[in-house]
Structure 1
Amino acid sequence: MIKIQEIREIIKLIDHSSIDEFSYEAEGTKIKLKKNSLHESSEVIVPQSNYAAPHVVESSTMDATQVTTSPTVKETFANIEVKESVNDESLHKIQSPMVGTFYESSSPDSPAFVQIGDKVSEEGIVCIVEAMKLFNEIEAEVSGEIVEILVKDGQLVEYGQPLFLVKAN
C-alpha cells in the first residue's frame, strides 16, 4: 500500500512539472492527478485499511490572478531558461531521462561529477537526478568535452530537458 508521504511527494513532483495528468493503480490503490493552467486539482483514493487516514482527498483551485502570482509557477518558469547554444546542432545534448531534482555531485561535500571543459566517456557519470527518493546516475552517452552545464544544482528538471552540452569526439 502506498504511504501518505509518498502521495504528497508525487503531488509535489506533478505540481512542479509540465505533466497535466497522472494515474497510478496497484494493489487496490488508485491515484489520479489532473492539472491545467487555470484550474489545478488532485485526487487520491486509498481503499479502507488499517491506516490512520484511510481516505485522502486533496484539492485546490486557483483563479487566473493567483496563477500569475503563484510563486511555484514563477519558480518553475524561472528555472527553465532557453539558451542560444542549446540549439547548436553540432553539440550533443545530455537530456534528463525523468522528472526530478538535478544534483551535480553525489553529496554536498563531494566535488561535481563534471565541470565545463572536462572530458567524458560514454559510461561516465555526469550527474544524479533524484525522483521520489531514488537517486539515478546519469551517464554521458557520448565521449567528448563538456561545453556547457544548462541547469543548476538542486534545480527541478523535466523529462527530456537538456542538462549538458557536449562537443563529441
Structure 2
Amino acid sequence: MMKVEEIRELINQVDKSSISEFTYEAEGTTITIKKEANKQSVISDLVSNESAPIKQESVKVEAPVQETSAEPVTAASSTVDNTKADYDYEIVSPMVGTFYAKSSPDSEKFVSQGSSVDSDTVVCIVEAMKLFNEIEAEVKGEIVEILVEDGELVEYGQPLFRVKSK
C-alpha cells in the first residue's frame, strides 16, 4: 500500500504536468488520477487488491492554490479554459509518443487551424517505438485549435486538436 505522502507527490506531479489522466499500479494497488480542465481538483480512485475482498473507494482531493510571489500561476489555474463554446470535440492522443504535424520535413502539414476534416481525415502522426501511427479526426468539422507543436512529446489521452463539429 502506498503512503499518503507518496500519493500527494503523485498528485502534485500530475497537477504540474500537461497530462489529464494518470494510472499507477504497484503491489496490488491501482491509483488513477484525472484532472478536469475547468476545476482545481484531482479525482483519485483507489482500488486495493490485497488478501481481503476487493474494495473500492473514491477520494476527492482539492488541489491547494498557492499564492506566492515565486510562483504566480499554478499549473491547475493555467489549464482553466473558458473557450469551451469555440469547440465541442477534442482529438486526443491514443498513445505516448512524438507528435508530427506532417509526414516528412518537406511535406505540408496534415491540417492547420481552420481546416475542414472528415472522420477519416489524417490529422497527424504519433510515433511510438519507431512505429508511425496515423491519427484520424474521428469527427466531421473544423479544426479551431492545435494544442501541440511539431516534434513535441505527447501523453496518452492528451488533447491534440480542438474541433467544432458540423
What is the TM-score of this pair, normalised by structure 2? Answer: 0.51
The answer to whether residue 109 in structure 2 is matched with residue 112 in structure 1 is yes
TM alignment of 1:19-168, pairs within 5 A: 82=79, 84=81, 87-88=84-85, 90-168=87-165
* Partner SS, residue 110 of structure 2: coil
CA distance in structure 2 between the partners assigned to 1:148 and 1:85 by the alignment: 14
* Partner SS, residue 142 of structure 1: coil
- Contact kept, 8 Å, 2:87 with 2:163, in 1: the verdict is no
* Partner SS, residue 166 of structure 1: strand
* Partner SS, residue 165 of structure 1: strand
Q: More helix per residue: 1 or 2?
A: 1
Cα deviation, residue 82, structure 1: 3.1
- Contact kept, 8 Å, 2:87 with 2:162, in 1: the verdict is no
CA distance in structure 2 between the partners assigned to 1:105 and 1:83 by the alignment: 29
* Runs of at least 5 residues in structure 1 that lack an aligned partner in the other structure: 1-16, 23-77
Q: More strand per residue: 1 or 2?
A: 2
CA distance in structure 2 between the partners assigned to 1:21 and 1:155 by the alignment: 26
Matched pairs, number = 96
Deviations 1:121-166 (CA, angstroms, capped at 9, x unpaired): 0000000000010000000000000000000000000000000000
CA distance in structure 1 between the partners assigned to 2:83 and 2:131 by the alignment: 28
- Contact kept, 8 Å, 1:86 with 1:165, in 2: the verdict is no
Cα deviation, residue 87, structure 1: 4.7
What is the TM-score of this pair, normalised by structure 1? Answer: 0.51
Give me the identity figure in percent: 60
CA distance in structure 2 between the partners assigned to 1:145 and 1:113 by the alignment: 13
- Change over 3 Å in CA distance of 1:124–1:132 after alignment to 2: same
Aligned to 1:13: none
CA distance in structure 1 between the partners assigned to 2:84 and 2:100 by the alignment: 23
* Partner SS, residue 107 of structure 2: coil
Deviations 1:85-112 (CA, angstroms, capped at 9, x unpaired): 6755852000000000000000011010
